[in-house]
């Protein structure tokens, strides 16, 4: 059985750990707190360390949600999936909706779905048409796109 490394429960140690986490990617407050808890830091230590990073805006759920949405939509993933990911990362529902309200008008989901559908259909060109459509449908739905946009794109390929 693997033993976990003992961590000194000090604020400087917690801050160093958070710095290492943030070097990898921006994180939500809940993600940071969960990681600190897993590492064995006490709640008061975590509160103080997270408070420091919130004070310098390196732990900021609004900014995290904004960056996450931009990054995931560029992949591209659907709005439904991105919304679910943010919820799982502990971002408050009102923050999620606020950020989506800013992004939604500029995001042409139907165009993205149509482009992806055509690309996926080309990958399955040697497969019978119905099977190809099933595969493309499954791919698009797993990526979290709106079912109406997916049906339209499948019909058009």
Q: How far apart, in whole angstroms, are the C-alpha atoms of residue 146 and residue 81?
A: 10
* Token digits of residue 156: 């058009």
Angle between helix 29-39 and helix 11-24 axes, rounded to 10 deg: 130
How many other C-beta atoms are found inside a 10 Å radius of the C-beta of residue 33?
20
CA-derived radius of gyration, the chain: 21
CA torsion sign for 153, 70, 74, 136 is negative
Residue 105 pLDDT level (bands cut at 50, 70, 90): confident
- Residue 4 reports pLDDT greater than 70: no
If phi over 0 gives left and psi between -120 and 50 gives alpha, with beta otherwise, what is residue 6?
Answer: beta
Percent over 90 (pLDDT), the chain: 88
Q: How far apart, in whole angstroms, are the C-alpha atoms of residue 149 and residue 141?
A: 10
Percent over 70 (pLDDT), the chain: 96
Please check whether residue 89 is in contact with residue 30, taking contact to mean a CB–CB distance below 8 angstroms.
yes
How many other C-beta atoms are found inside a 10 Å radius of the C-beta of residue 19?
12
Map tokens 């079912």 to a residue.
147
Please check whether residue 63 is in contact with residue 96, taking contact to mean a CB–CB distance below 8 angstroms.
no
Residue 7 pLDDT level (bands cut at 50, 70, 90): low
pLDDT for the residue numbered 3: 38
- Residue 18 reports pLDDT greater than 60: yes
Query: Mean pLDDT, to the nearest integer, of 40-48?
Result: 96
- Residue 132 reports pLDDT greater than 90: yes
């Amino acid at each position: 059985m693997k033993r976990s490394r003992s961590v000194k429960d000090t604020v400087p140690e917690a801050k160093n750990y958070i710095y290492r986490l943030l070097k990898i990617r921006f994180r939500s407050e809940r993600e940071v707190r969960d990681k600190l808890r897993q590492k064995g830091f006490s709640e008061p230590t975590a509160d103080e360390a997270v408070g420091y990073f919130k004070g310098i805006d390196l732990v900021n759920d609004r900014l995290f949600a904004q960056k996450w949405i931009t990054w995931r939509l560029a992949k591209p993933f659907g709005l439904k999936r991105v919304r679910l990911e943010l919820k799982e990362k502990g971002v408050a529902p009102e923050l999620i909706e606020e950020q989506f309200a800013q992004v939604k008008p500029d995001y042409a989901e139907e165009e993205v779905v149509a482009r992806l559908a055509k690309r996926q259909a080309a990958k399955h060109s040697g497969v019978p048409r119905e099977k190809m459509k099933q595969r493309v449908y499954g791919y698009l739905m797993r990526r979290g796109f709106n079912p109406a946009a997916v049906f339209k794109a499948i019909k058009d390929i």
